[in-house]
A and B are shown apart, each in its own frame.
Chain A
Amino acid sequence: MRTAGPVLVVVAAIFAIWYAAVPVMNIKETLTGLERAGAQVTPDSPMARRDAGHLGLVLQNSFAIPATYAQDRPRLPAPHQVVLDLWDTTVEKKVTSKRSLVYHGWITLSATLLGFVIGTGAGILLAVGIVYSRAMDMSVMPWAIASQTIPILAIAPMIIVVLNSVGLQGLVPKAIISAYLSFFPVVVGMVKGLRAPDAMQMDLLRTYNASRTQAFWKLRLPASMPYLFASLKIGVAASLVGAIVAELPAGGATGLGGRMLTGSYYGQMVQIWSALVFAAILAAGLVLIIGVIQRGTLKRMGLA
């Protein structure tokens, strides 16, 4: 509760700045529209307005401020416009409609989840291999770390096109890119976690005459859980980014990435914003779900 007050103040400040910025960002387009509608605007030549400062125009034409909040294609939509569009495209539209964000969100989410499951599974397997095989550790791990410094997303368009030419379309190519992005956080976290038991704990198991498999299931794997969940939170957010970016090269047909791309083609800022907010809600929700599972699991294990 100690944080609730300050967080609310900060969020309120962000919204206040946002509302204050809307007239400044939108004034030029609004004035052009109002002039066409026959209103008297202060510098009446478009040329003079083009060279004038945004803030000055707002001050000179204070009557236009309400109109800046109701632009059809604003440069910066007001928060309530985004919320209205979000409401309109999620609740009001049928879920199967191509104009429904739920439909596009599900397309992105399904690729995200499939990719996340593949990436996590592969990551855990590789981590086990790395922990138990010295050769794998020495040869694969440096490349795994180096690959983190490479902008993997640069490869996304190529993977899409290559898989498309082999006949794979839709869900699977996107899931592969998502899987790739969630893969490495899981590998790195899991290797760290599986190595978390110290020498004394390993020695204790040896005095119990435990086999290697028993040591794995009863000590290493449970010890790695906090690390695994920390990685999963990063991984699931990365998966969503991967799925969204993977939708860009398809030319903006479907999915949240597609909505952003078509919005950017047609100058529909509100559409971009609502897709972005929807993606943010999705990401926050996914991280939240992992957090709940984490709390439950760790509590059952007596770790939290």
Chain B
Amino acid sequence: MTLVALALILWLAAWALNVRLANGPGSHTPAVRLAVPAIFGLTLLVMWELLVRGLEVPLVILPAPSQVAVKFAEELPTLWLDFKQTFLKGALSGYLIGCGAAFATAILVDRFDFLRRGLLPVGNFVAALPIVGTAPILVMWFGFDWQSKAAVVVVMVYFPMLVNAVAGLQETTAMQRDLMRTYGAGYWASLTKLRLPAALPFIFNGLKISTTLALIGAIVAEFFGSPTMGMGFRISTSVGQLALDMVWAEIVVAALAGSAFYGAVALVERRLTFWHPSQRKQQH
């Protein structure tokens, strides 16, 4: 019980500290902005460790963070293998193909008004459907290896990306387009010099949504059949063996990969859309 009490005291202390920091004079400094969420996250981890040990939760059901860390270090080669299979082969190739195809379609849709009026409502509709459900079909068509995972990812990222890219290409005002026309710019010049740059914030919105979808698609598709590796395969078999520390290790890998992927796209976005209001430094 002392561990549980310790956990509660720690929670209260950390929360009090966070309240002080957040409402204190220095709450806008970058250090505090980083420290507050970091303290919150750390408290959660330590509470988890203390509660699991204090309440004597069976470690099979809920492994303590320290165990997960040990397992992570032990199984590094396996985790790397799964990461390569699921992320690099399945998710990333599907992401590139899907987003590329959607972008090409968006240019076409933007060029032909008929397609915009016809394809866009359909695209909006399909984007809201449970596309993950196509996984069993695509696994049957493309086999158990990474190609079927990439196919699931392509289908999942295509419509959100298409809808965003088309919305972005419509973003310029009539006045801006008229200005380009007075410069004597043709379709391609106004596309590359005006409309594509103006569409970038929307395109990156689509790209960022797609990063998560890509990883989800690749992992869920592996539940429907995969070679004897991959993050989805490892999660489903480890759950079957009640090796939950391994499952958590895979979740850590998924979290790291997902955040890094998202972060990388966001970084490129910041470089390319530095002019957009949302990228300006906040001033207080």
Contacts and interface: CB of A to CB of B under 8 A. Distances in A.
B239 A249 contact: yes
Contact of A161 (B18, B33, B122, B242): B242
Nearest to B211: A149
Contacts of B32: 138
Contact of A241 (B114, B132, B140, B225): B132
B23 A135 contact: yes
Which secondary structure dominates chain A's binding surface?
Answer: helix
Interface in B112-128: 114-115, 117-119, 121-122, 125, 128
A103 interface: no
Contact of B22 (A9, A139, A256, A257): A139
B41 A143 contact: yes
Nearest to A158: B247
Interface stretch (B173-181, B186-194, B213-221): B213-221
A157 B239 contact: yes
A176 interface: no
Interface string B31-50: 01100110111000000000
A162 B117 contact: no
Contact of B259 (A146, A154, A234, A284): A146
Contact of A11 (B37, B115, B122): B122
Nearest to B231: A154
Interface in A238-281: 240-241, 244-245, 248-249, 256-257, 260-261, 263-264, 267, 269, 272-273, 275-276, 279-280
A6 B130 contact: no
Contact of A154 (B21, B117, B211, B232): B232
A113 interface: no
Interface in B214-244: 215-216, 219-220, 223-225, 231-232, 235-236, 239, 242, 244
Given A3-B121, A153-B220, A157-B239, A284 B137 contact: no
Interface in A158-194: 158, 160-162, 165-166
A148 interface: yes
Given A139-B18, A149-B258, A249 B128 contact: no
A154 B251 contact: yes
B134 interface: yes
A25 B23 CA distance: 64
Contact of A249 (B62, B236, B263): B236
B73 to A, nearest CB: 20
A284 B118 contact: no
A162 B242 CA distance: 9
B250 A283 contact: no
Interface in B95-151: 114-115, 117-119, 121-122, 125, 128-130, 132-137, 139-141
A153 B86 CA distance: 14
A104 interface: no
A151 interface: yes
A158 B239 contact: yes
B211 A162 contact: no
Given A135-B18, A138-B33, A272-B136, A237 B239 contact: no
6 contacts: A25-B141, A143-B41, A150-B251, A150-B258, A151-B215, A272-B136
Pairs of residues from A and B, 9 with the lowest C-beta to C-beta distance, nearest first: A6-B118, A139-B40, A264-B136, A10-B118, A149-B262, A135-B22, A142-B37, A6-B117, A138-B36
Given A7-B121, A166-B61, A279-B130, 5 more contacts: A2-B117, A154-B254, A155-B251, A157-B247, A244-B132
